[in-house]
Every structure is written in C-alpha cells, then in structure tokens.
Structure 1
C-alpha cells in the first residue's frame, strides 16, 4: 500500500498536460470570454443572433463537441450493471430531485432575502439538474462512465417531467405556505425537452453509434487504444470553447455588477459544497466504491445552467436579475467543480489502496 496521500498524487501525475493544467486553461478561457464581451461591442448580440428556435448555435456546438468524446468512451454493454444498482439510482434521484432544489431554495432565501430577482434566479438554477458538463467532471475524477451515462439519462427524463411542476411548487406554493413572497415561472415541456434532446440526445446517440460501428469494423482494442486517445482531448477543447462563448455573452453583466455577482456566488458556493459532500457521504455510507460515489457526488452537485439561463431569459428578460443569477452559475460552478475533481482524486485513497488499472481519460 502506498504511503498516505500518494494515491491521489499518482493519479494526477498520469493526467495529460492538458488535463493537469485544466484550472489554468479554464481560468484563461473565462478571462478571455469576459474581455471579449467587454472589448468587442455587439459581440453578445451577434452571437445570440446565430440561433435556431432560441438555441444558440455556438453554445450548442461547444457542448456537443464537449460531450461526444466522453459518451463515445462509455461501454454501453455494461449499462445493465448500473441499472440494476437500486441503491445508486434511488440515492441519485433523492439527491437531485428532493435534496438539491430544497437546499437551493433554503440558501437563496437565507442569503438573499432582500434580492428577490436574484433569489428567484438561484432557485431556477437549483431546479435545473445537470445533464451536460457533469460527464466531463466525472471523467476527469475517474468516476464510473457507465453510471454517469445512466444517471444523466435519468435526470433528463425527470427534468422533462418535473421541472415546471417543481418550479411552480418552489416559487409559488411553498413560499405561500411559509408566508414568503411568491412569484411565477414559465417553462413549457417542449422547451425543457428540447434542451435535453439537443445537449444529451445528439451526443449520446453519436457516441453509441461510433462505438458500435468501430468495434464491429476495427475491434474494441483498436477503438480504445487508438481511436479514443485521439478523440479524448476534443472534450476539453469543446469545454474551453463553451466557456469563452458563455462569458463573452455575459461579460458586461458580470463585470458591471460585481457586488451582485459576489452575493449570488455565496449561496452557490455553499450549495456546491453541500451537494458534493452529501453525495460522497451517501456513497460512502452505501459502500458504492470510489467510482460510483464520485459519479453520485458530481451528478448531485452539477446544474444545467443552459436550461436555467434560457428559462430565466424567456420568463423575465435578458437583463433581469434572474438571468444574471443564471449567468453567475457557470462562473462559480466551473472553477469550483474543477477544484472538486482534484479533491476527489485526493479522497480516492480512502476507498482503495491504489489507483486501478483503468486509464485516466
């Protein structure tokens, strides 16, 4: 057994140069996006005009490029072992659809009692469970890819079915019961389903068909040892591109309202800590093992900020406080979850004596 503390370090050392310095690249991408948004007049309007049915094509392109390589790595013939794990599925549903929205509701009211627009925006963020970037964080932390694919698909189904209903409950019904200010939300089932179909459905089908075709024609050994290593870096290229576009679109709002951004960031930081930590505690208690515990934690902590921003803009307007809260979501989420990737790798030694033979993506 290696000396205490070396397991996580060994995993980090096996990361590629691109992966190892990911916080630096993400920081540079965020800064580049903010600078572009401030220095290039009309950039945000120009990018927003490149859209189809309300979906920004540059953002959609970045997300598809980001998710396709990770979903192409999934071994779909192993999904049955995940779907049969009731402890994992039920704990994920409880964390995502019972605890997550309730935690964000409580934090928003406790920390932003005097900022109703920002508070509403945060509650919307809490309702939008992650279906996109979580696959990146899970992969970097050496989580279970097959479990991530199943849990993300499960979140997608519940998102279509429950988002509008939970929005009504947390913004109108529950505040009324507690004697708090009430508001409304407008989110059609089609709007939510469209987000799921584009940001998850397309890369999921593409990843499945790629693996199926390549393994039939060239074999699994060639696919995993030759094709995937060349495809893998494109996930991070897509992530960095998406971050630049997102922050370029909202750079003016973020840099012109620093105090509001700071106040919105505080409950978000608390939320990510509670949900990620809660996922690890539940996974450890259920003895799910490192890989599935990590997947449980990241799927609980991540949010679908694309959907949250879209709903906030459609309901309250692009310059509203609700939209700003949605925009601050990825501003806080991206660096925090990158940090939690490294925290996960450091915790790995508590689950197993040494890294497994599974290669780090």
Structure 2
C-alpha cells in the first residue's frame, strides 16, 4: 500500500512566514471574535433570545450559515479522485474509529466524574460533549495544520455515519447504564431522536460536502484542474476563515450573558475540557507516529480525535434538559475552550511538521 508522504505538500523553511495576514494572526482574530461575541451577548438586551429564535428543527440558522461558509471552500479543495487512497488505509480508518467512538467518550466520562463529582448537571453536559464527535470545525483546523484534506473528508464522513447510529446508544451507556453498574448513583435518560442527529449531519456535512464536490467537478471541467486550483480556489479560500470568525461571534453572542455571569462555574467546567483536548490530541498524534503514518494523516487523525460537534451537544442538552440547565452551560463552555486550544495546537502541529520531513528524508 502506497503511503501518503509529506512531499505531497512542498516543505517550506518557515510555515508561518508564508501565511497570509489573516492566517498568520488567526489566534488574535479568534480571540477578538470571542470577545466581541461575549460583549454583544452581554451588552445588547435580548440579543441571545433573538438569535436563538432564528432556527429550523432545533438548528441555529446563523450558526449553520457560518459553518457552511467555513466548510465549503475547504471541501472544494478536496481531490475527490484521491479518496480511494484514504479508504484503503486501514490503519488510519481503524485508528480513527477506535479513538473517536471508544476512547474519546470513555476519556470524557472519566474526566467528568473525576473533576465534577459534586456537580451532576455539568458532569452530564461534559459527557454529552464527549459523545458528539466533530464533523465541522475539524475541517478547517486540519487545513490550517496542512493535514490531509482527502483523509479529513473521509474521516468526517465516517464520524457522521457513526454519529447517527451510535450517539443515542452511547448516551444510554454512559449516562444511564454505566453509572448504575459502577454504583455512581441513578443514571439520566437521554432521549435523542435519530432523525434529529441525522438532520444535524445533513446540514453541517452533507450540504457543504455536496457543494464542494460539485464545485470541483464542474470547475475542473470548465477551467481545467490547473486553472481551477491556481485561480478559483484562492478566491474562495478566505471565505473559510471569515465563516469561522462569524460563527464564533454568533455562538458567543448567543451565550455571552450565561458565560460571563457564572465565571466560577465556567472555570470548573473548563479544567476537564483542557485536560481532555490535551490528552486526545497529543495521545493521538503520538499514536500516528507509532503506527507509521505520515505527518499529514497524523495531523488529520489528531484533530478529528480532539474536536467535538458543539452544535449537536448544545442542541441535545437544551432539548433534553432546558436552555438554562447546567448541562446546556457545559455544552456552551465546550467551544469556549476548544476554539483557542485547537488554534494553539495548529501551531504546535506546524512546528512538528518539519520533524516529520526530516525523518522522511533520513
């Protein structure tokens, strides 16, 4: 089996130096977007209620628009004719499934009970976050870290299928069955219709995936592959980060008052989340090196393992326990911690990329 190597993307003497101003100062823009969203949510009376009402089927339309704008350019860059090279990589696929659907939920369950034994609502919310595997933002983290776009598309699609099939079952296992069997008290029932999860997958993956696929297919036919990649893709590329920043502003505007009014509770929830993201990303990155994956697929594996589907987690928590519940607050704190942490890990990943390049030339 031919293995993808880092030479698929030419090595550069300084990754950061070649980034655009928008990319290079991404961490700053994201922090400003978070601050703007929190400030708007706190300063504008009723803004969160107005934004919350703009939804269809429990899906926030402003957040959906932002995520679709964010994901479309990246998925338009995917070389769909290369997907078979990913689907034949059994090490990558099996590792992703095991980490996302066995290890990830178990790690979050353990951390939630370890750090929040006296706060059952927040603990339940964290467990729900751990069950919602990422199918949206991971696309852009992976692209910023120069991961394998084709591998990201396949792994995200795989996560989507398992999300529809396994989310409800794992919710019953970790929130109802396991606590009772371990003598941790009465479990909590999580009633999540499969149709709701499927709708989430269709909106946040299906639409941008189809749009990206059709764009590349039609674009290559009309312009040729070289012109499509050299002229068209650079024009739509900045949309991804614009969509990301818009999504962050809307997300934190929706929950700005809740987050800023309970700083101590937010800190309690944030600590296990920080540990979770660190364990999942660094552990998975190390696994990728051990099993012999090239840098690009190692990065993809790590980011798909560490990210979570915050939109699904928040929607499920609100639908099951209410908008003012502790479970919903845990879901909201998820992206508050995940976004800056994974941006930082993008830079860590890029710094380690050169080590892989050196190893590959040895």
Rounded to whole Å, the distance in 2 between the matches of 1:340 and 1:19 is: 14
Q: Determine whether 1:59 maps to 2:77.
A: no
Out of 217, 222, 229, the residue aligned to residue 222 of structure 2 is 217
Name the CA distance, whole Å, in 1 between partners of 2:128 and 2:121. 11
CA contact (8 A) 1:118 1:325 kept: yes
Aligned to 2:6: none
Report the Cα offset of residue 282 of structure 1: 1.1
Q: Deviations over 1:273-301 (max 9, x none)?
A: 00001111110011111000000000000
Alignment size in residue pairs: 350
CA–CA separation in structure 1 for the residues paired with 2:191 and 2:17: 47
Bigger mean CA offset, 178-187 vs 108-117: 178-187
- Cα RMSD, aligned residues only: 1.3
Name which of 258, 264, 274 aligns with 2:279: 274
| Separation of aligned partners in 2, 1:228 and 1:355 | 29
1:160 has 2:152 as partner: no
Residue 86 of structure 1 aligns with which residue? 90
* 1:53 to partner: Cα distance: 1.9
Q: Is residue 2:287 matched to residue 1:287?
A: no
Counterpart in the other structure of 1:297: 302
Q: Structure 1 residue 353: deviation in Å? A: 2.5
CA drift at 1:186: 1.6
Aligned to 2:144: 140
Equivalent residue number for residue 77 of structure 1: 81
Residue aligning to 1:125: 129
Decide whether aligned partners of structure 1 residues 285 and 61 sit closer, same or farther in structure 2, where only a CA change above 3 A counts: same
1:306: which partner in 2? 311
Structure 2: distance between partners of 1:13 and 1:327: 34
The SS at the match of 1:113 is coil
SS in structure 2 opposite 1:132?
coil
Task: Give the one of 11, 17, 35 matched to 2:15.
Answer: 11
- The CA deviation at 1:50 is 1.3
SS of 2:357's partner is: coil
8 Å contact from structure 1 (residues 11, 355) kept in 2: no
Query: Shift in Å at residue 355 of structure 1?
Result: 11
Runs of 4+ that moved beyond 4 A: none
Match of 1:44 in 2: 48
Question: Is this contact kept in 2: 1:8–1:348, CA < 8 A?
Answer: no
Partner of 2:33: 29
Alignment check: 8 A CA contact 1:186 1:314 kept: no
Q: CA deviation at 1:328?
A: 0.2
Higher alpha-carbon deviation: 275-284 or 157-166: 275-284
- Stretches of structure 2 lacking an aligned partner (at least 5 in a row): 1-10
Q: 3-state SS of the aligned residue for 1:353?
A: helix
Q: What TM-score do the two structures reach when normalised by structure 2? A: 0.95
Distance (Å, rounded) in 2 between the aligned partners of 1:74 and 1:223:
12
Deviations 1:10-48 (A, max 9, x none): 111111110000000000000000000011001011111
Q: Using the TM superposition, give the Cα deviation of residue 349 of structure 1 relative to its aligned residue in structure 2, in angstroms.
A: 1.9
CA distance in 2, matches of 1:206, 1:54: 23
TM-score w.r.t. structure 1 length? Answer: 0.95
Structure 1 CA distance, aligned partners of 2:50 and 2:257? 14
1:333 lines up with 2:335 in the alignment: no
Could you tell me how far 1:354 is from its partner in structure 2? Answer: 9.4
In the alignment, structure 1 residue 247 sits paired with structure 2 residue 291 = no
CA distance, structure 2, for counterparts of residue 8 and residue 41 of structure 1: 49
Q: CA deviation at 1:184?
A: 1.5
Deviation track 1:172-214 (CA, whole Å, cap 9, x = no partner) reads: 1111111012111121100100000000000000000000001
Contact 1:131 1:156 in 2 (8 A): yes
What is the CA distance between 1:9 and its match in structure 2? 6.7
Mapped pair 1:115 → 2:119: yes
